[in-house]
Structure 1
Amino acid sequence: MKPGYRAILLILQNAPYVLFIILLVVFGLMSDRFLAVANFRNIIVQAAPIAILAIGMTFVLLTGQIDLSVGASMYLTASLLALYGGDIAWPQGLLAVIVVAGLLGAVNGAIITWLGVASFIVTLATLFILRGIAMWLSNTRTLMFSDQITNLNRASLFGIPSAIIAFVAVFAVAWVVLHQTSFGRQVYAVGGDPEAARKAGLAVRRIVFLCFVISGVCAGIGGFVSITQIGAVGPKYGDQIEFSAIAAAVLGGVSLFGGRGSVLGTVFGAVLIKTVQNGLNIINADPYIYPLVTAAIIFVAVAIDGVRTRIIDRLERRTIRPIGQG
């Protein structure tokens, strides 16, 4: 393989880090406030919900599937908590959200694995179904949360905000599961080659099912962290956030084709997206360009993944020569 391919691959694999440095320089030159320590802390706090959501999405993407319903799951579980949670203490509220969101993920996983319906179709359908149920239950009005929950946004441990603690905890558990357990190795094997994994005796359907449950649980946790920050949910809550989660994962090196990537890269991708949005806000950019920037990030992420995958396939391809030929 030509050295040029390896050089391009190296650039593509480190594209998020290069882009992050460029952003630091550009926004730093445009505003002194951008490089302040307090602003970086604010970026990480704001990135926490998307990072948690993207971590769950990483498990699904690694198996070669996709979950478009996470934003709707966030909205429905948050709405149920606001409508029926009352003055429930936050630990019970968080547990309830995790259980419900996990069940919603299990429904997706069951339909996809046991009925054989494509994940894109299933999760696109549940996106509309779950959001419709939430709108029906709430009558499309804005729902408020109790002080028990909103006060968490001001809570901290050793000066570290609760949102960052939650996001680091989810990241740590996900990293251990993916990189230190047999289940994690099986996830990569299924994403790399489902048929080979099946022939090797792996329970492919069970692994994919569990990844959708994990995605649902992360959607619940991410939604809970988000509502502690904003204190209310409306009909637009969680709308299209699944695309930001996918973009964060892919920007961080997770392949849309499965089998490649890590949660560390995913977390960095989420921080990168929030850095862009934060920088635009600090320089008082026109709010109407925010969706355009997000769309551009998604496009770049998908383009990088496509080129990166083709180059890796070429590097891994073995040329078979007849015996006796050099």
Structure 2
Amino acid sequence: MREWRFLIAENRGTLMALLLFLAMFAVYVTNHPAGFTANVVQTAANKGVILALIAMAQAMVVLTAGIDLSVGMIFILCNCLGSHLLGGQPWQIALGVVAVLATGLACGAVNGLIVIVGRLQPIVTTIATGAVFFGIALWLRPYPGTTPDFAADLADAFTGKLFGVVPASLAFLAAVVLVVWVPFSRSTIGRAAYAVGSNDMAAYMSGMPVRRARFAAFALGGLLAALAGLFLTFFTYSGEASLANGDNYTLFSIAAVVLGGVSLYGGRGSAIGAVFGALAFRAIGDLLFVFDLDPLWQPLFQGLVLALAVTVGAARLFRIRNRLDMFS
């Protein structure tokens, strides 16, 4: 019984995000004109998975008590690059996918190296690198477009339905969690990332690989952002260097991380919670659509949700008497 209580307490944020998502999605499908159908779930899943991947990328860095404000621009850069490379023969498409993922990984690695070697604050570093990444994206795609022989069959496979029922995007998201997050969280580097977020100096004095943990968090964050950019290319069949989309997804990823129970002070939470937080945040937009809220009011409402999410994430500070209580 005590073990169950410990697990529930440890994963309280993830469970609350899951319950919030289920409640909001139930309201959404109940009020949707088409009701609860495979097509409705597929559309919602395709939109939600993009934000979920970016939220996972943000969570990686936030767990180390950092923040990545370039994650949206890596996402946009990889979308633009994918729109150029995902065409031709199957081997060319495969190389294109590898190139896109390698680009995201390299962008995250650059962020990590600057933070570690240059000893700069992550927020300052990623603002600067984000501008560079967007500049490259704009150079690649000054106008929205795609390659003439775009891999539509591959895109349909990732955004369609498995067995005519299960959204392939959700299966893809589950595979990413199992292949990327689960091994990382259970590895020495993953445990060191939690320790760094909880207390950087204590982790260093304990002999943990602090630098490698930070570098891995940023690099994997870039890889996950690249997966999101790749999925956006599959979803839209095109690439676009949209500054608004990059900024919005960066802000939404922070909201999703907090809604998923990941502490902005680091060392607490999980990428799985960030996934449910992202799905819950995306469900808010779907509800605004279903209830036909005036588009002029939608950004205001989402901004209020973002502010509330950040406030809830920081509320724990008002219940502690000293900083040691944060790690108890």
Question: Which TM-score band applies after superposition, normalised by the shorter structure?
Answer: 0.7 to 0.9
1:288 aligned residue (278, 286, 296) = 296
Q: Summarize deviations over 1:173-207 as a string: whole Å, max 9, x none.
A: 24412443222211111111010000001121221
Partner of 2:254: 246
Partner of 1:164: 170
8 Å Cα contact 1:153-1:163 kept in structure 2: no
Greater shift, 181-190 or 210-219, is seen at 181-190
Matching residue within 227, 230, 233 for 1:224: 230
Matched with 2:97 is 94
TM-score of the superposition, structure 2-length normalised?
0.84
Residue 273 (structure 1) aligns with: 281
Structure 2 contact 104–225 (Cα < 8 Å) conserved = yes
Shift of 1:211: 0.7
In the alignment, which of 188, 195, 218 is matched to residue 194 of structure 2? 188
Instruction: Check conservation: 2:53, 2:228, Cα contact below 8 A.
Output: yes
Matches within 5 A, 1:314-325: 317=325
Deviation at 1:50, TM superposition (A): 1.1
Corresponding residue SS for 1:117: coil
**Residue 208 of structure 1: CA displacement?**
0.3
Larger of the two Rg values belongs to structure:
1
Any idea what SS the aligned residue of 1:208 has?
Answer: helix
Contact kept? 2:21, 2:277, Cα under 8 Å: no
1:88–1:125 Cα change, 3 Å: farther
Percent of pairs with identical residues: 30
Deviation of residue 316 (structure 1)? Answer: 6.5
Q: What's the TM-score once normalised by structure 1's chain length? A: 0.84
> How many residues are matched?
308
State the match for 1:144 in structure 2.
Answer: 146
Instruction: For 1:141, give the aligned amino acid.
Output: Y
Quick one: structure 1 residues 313 and 175, their matched pair in 2 at CA, closer, same or farther if it must change by over 3 Å? farther
Unaligned runs of 5+ in 1: 1-8, 319-326
Q: Give the equivalent residue in structure 2 for 1:53.
A: 54
Cα offset, 1:24, TM superposition: 4.8
SS where residue 285 of structure 1 aligns?
A: coil
Q: What displacement does 1:293 show?
A: 2.6
Which residue pairs with 2:3 in the alignment? none
Greater shift in the superposed pair: 188-197 or 285-294? 285-294
- Looking at structure 1, the residues matched to 41 and 83 of structure 2 have their Cα atoms a distance apart, in angstroms, of 31
Structure 2 unmatched ranges of 5 or more: 1-8
SS of 2:264's equivalent in the other structure is: coil
Aligned partners of 1:94 and 1:221 also within 8 Å: no
Judge which range, 155-164 or 68-77, deviates more: 155-164
CA distance in 2, matches of 1:166, 1:21: 20
Structural RMSD (CA): 2.7
Deviations 1:57-86 (A, max 9, x none): 111000001111122112222323334555
- 2:6 is aligned to none
Q: Does 1:208 align with 2:210?
A: no
Amino acid at match of 2:64: T
Q: Which moved more, 1:122-131 or 1:140-149?
A: 140-149
Question: Counterpart of 2:65 in 1: which secondary structure?
Answer: coil
